[in-house]
Amino acid sequence: MSAIAENGPLVADTTIASSLGPEPWNAPWWKVANGDYPTFFYMILIHALALAGLIFFPMPGWKVVLATFAIAWVGGLGVTVCYHRALAHRAVQLNPVVRHFLIFFAQFCGSGSPDSWTANHRQHHAKVETPEDISSPAIGGFWWSHLRWLWQAGNVPLSRWCPDLDRPQYRFWNRMQIPVLAISLFVWIPFGWAAFFWLGPMRLVASLHAQCFVNSIAHMRPDAKPGEDSSQNIWWLGFLQFLQGENWHANHHARPASARLGWTFWQVDFGWYAIVVLEKLGLASKVRRIS
């Protein structure tokens, strides 16, 4: 079942609109598509700062570590519950206050605007493991699917893949992306350099890679045939994602309309548990339980 089935009928194929040509994964990694230098330099900046923080402040104190994990945890919920399950697949409808709270923290942890995230993800599902899949390792290799597509794939047309998010409330977050990221990176400076590095670039890099592993290794099933959906469940990846459920990726691709990603009691899925709690509190509705 295509993930786009619940989002409207498919129309004519839409190729990746990259200025690097029809096969941008063959370009050198430092080439930037469509003038997207802000993304490229942001990636270099946070990685360089994170490395410096790891070298000079490897032990920042338990308060800083706890705050870092707490913010990253809420940001992860913003991605898996709001961006992924609620917006991209409409598997749950969130109360507007909860929805925008989670959007803020998803953006605060570097996951971009909700409309572009949704468009990219819907195209990925509809065109999985083809040249039109924006982040397929089967087409571009590990580093393409893990990071390079972010500044080399070009723009997925929002009007094609997420016309339902063409609303002021989501366009607002599109405009807020750079200010929120700037605050997320630099607001910690008054609390000391250890707090700056851990709560800023180190948190952003960790959140980035935890999410990108779903695009890369979670789509590198060894026995997958050419052109076949290569999604796989990876139990240990859950520990890098706070056990929030995104590591059960084969489950998700098998039933993308389901709000539940972990199907058994041992497939821990805190994103699903959060949705159940929100539903009981009257803050989530129309929960799709496809088993």
Looking at residue 148, its pLDDT comes to 97
Q: Where are the domains of the chain?
A: 31-285
253 burial class (0-12, 13-18, 19+ CB within 10 angstroms)?
Answer: buried
Q: Is the predicted pLDDT of residue 247 greater than 60, yes or no?
A: yes
**Cα(274)–Cα(176) distance, integer angstroms:** 26
Element (H, E) at 94: strand 93-94
**Cα(115)–Cα(159) distance, integer angstroms:** 10
Q: Is the predicted pLDDT of residue 6 greater than 60, yes or no?
A: no
Task: Quote the pTM value.
Answer: 0.92
Looking at residue 291, its pLDDT comes to 63
Q: Are 16 and 156 in contact (CB under 8 A)?
A: yes
**Cα(109)–Cα(47) distance, integer angstroms:** 14
Average pLDDT over residues 92-109: 98
Place 18 in a pLDDT band, splitting at 50, 70 and 90.
confident
CA dihedral 14, 18, 20, 25 (to 10 degrees): -70
Q: Taking the CA of residue 268 as centre, how many other CA atoms within 13 Å lie in the half-sphere pointing to its CB?
A: 11
DSSP label of 237: G
Alpha helices in the chain (DSSP H): 37-56, 62-77, 96-108, 114-126, 137-140, 142-143, 149-152, 158-161, 168-186, 193-197, 203-215, 249-254, 270-280
Looking at residue 15, its pLDDT comes to 53
Looking at residue 94, its pLDDT comes to 98
